[in-house]
Amino acid sequence: MKRNKIVAGNWKMHFGPKEAAEFAQSLRNNLLDTHGVSVILCPPFLALKTVFDTVNGSEIKVGAQNMHWAEAGAFTGEITGAMIRETGTEYVILGHSERRHVFGESDEWINKKVHRSLKSGLIPIFCVGEKIEEREAEKTEQVIAKQLRVGLKGLSEADMETVIIAYEPVWAIGTGLTASPEQAAAVHQFIRGAIKTLFNSDVAESTWLLYGGSVKPENTIGLLSNKDIDGALVGGASMQLESFKGIIDEAGAIE
């Protein structure tokens, strides 16, 4: 049985409300058929509501790029899951490598965010991945195992029904480098095995696993054809209409 793919676009710190709405409208106008692919747009916080209003009624969904773990409080500059949910947004990216390595977020912090996202009614896209020095030192599995163990700590099997995990090798983000289909497949297979150890085989098989790291239309089929890769978390290419639509079209063509 064919399992439909997920393609999520992370716009990072690009596109204010006006530009984001214009891009979302262009995508909606041009994406006449998603081929069963679940498309998620993740704009900056200020653009969440305008993008949601633009795509509402279509098959395109909206996700945030981060959130705080507290329900509310004295956390200047932060945003809660409830605030995000109020915009109509359904997803949130957590543990992205830039949050981990640029802003110093720990596995423990990310774990608290995952719990809060679920309590807020948001679907977390929980990111894991290794840096180039960790891969070269053959520590990829060690690093990802810890990120999974701590990041998913305290979650129930029922919680895992809505968790999406994205593997994004840090060395392939914004560099133009991409993990080969064989490299990506090996890590996704390892992640499924780790989830089986943490939970059980049913949870491992049902959890959606995405690949992120310089995904383009021309490498989509090679990456996403593997049975353990259920979709893509796309960065730069998600901000170019032709490229993003191309990735969605290619993902939908996979048997």
- Give the catalytic positions in this structure: 96, 168
CA proximity to 228, closest of 170, 169, 152, 166: 166
89-125 burial code (b ≥16 CB/10 A, e <16)? bbbbbbbbbbbbeeeebebebbbbbbbbbbebebbbb
The answer for residues whose C-beta is within 8 angstroms of residue 242's C-beta and 6 or more apart is none
> Distances in Å between the alpha carbon of 207 and those of 61, 91, 166, 167, 230?
19, 15, 11, 13, 9
Provide DSSP, 138-156. T-HHHHHHHHHHHHTTT--
* 248: its two tokens: 């969605």
Q: From the CB of residue 88, how many other CB atoms can be counted at a distance below 10 Å?
A: 15
* 231: its two tokens: 């979709």
- Contact 108/72 with Cβ under 8 angstroms? no
Q: What are phi and psi of 59, to 5 degrees?
A: -85, 0
